[in-house]
Amino acid sequence: MTDTLTTENRTNLPIQIDQLRELFRMQQALNQRIGVQTEGMSDEDKTKWILNYCRAMSQELAELTDSVPWKWWAKYQKFDEQNARVEVVDLFHFLISMAQVLGMSADDVFNAYVKKNEVNFKRQESGYVEKDHADSKHI
């Protein structure tokens, strides 16, 4: 992961912070503050929290949808880009929590993303005319 945030320590030397890892750290702290321990969950608890996060993300997607003028019959609507950005960030909160429930670290998500991105490019190169159920098994 190459994107980093530069801060300064007591000696004013720049310190590089991995942004994705920092998001995962922050989300874990927030989950703990709320009372949700994502580490070491039973399969029953994992099921419960995956469903909770899916429902929450569905709601956030609806709120994101409402940020754009999707009602073609209503002329009063305006694009609310600021709110759309907030809703995207809300989605990240729940998505990171879901990854943590599944035992995925920032590195795990990054590595899986890279592999899946390669699969997606191969699908486009081949024309993606047929579903290959095995092409993502290695991820």
Q: Architecture of 4-125 per CATH? A: Orthogonal Bundle (1.10)
> Do the beta carbons of residue 97 and residue 53 sit within 8 Å?
yes
36, pLDDT greater than 60: yes
Can you give the pLDDT at residue 34? 96
pLDDT band at 7 (very low <50, low <70, confident <90, very high): low
Can you give the pLDDT at residue 14? 61
d(CA 73, CA 95): 33
What are the domain boundaries of the chain? 4-125
Percent of the chain with pLDDT over 90: 76
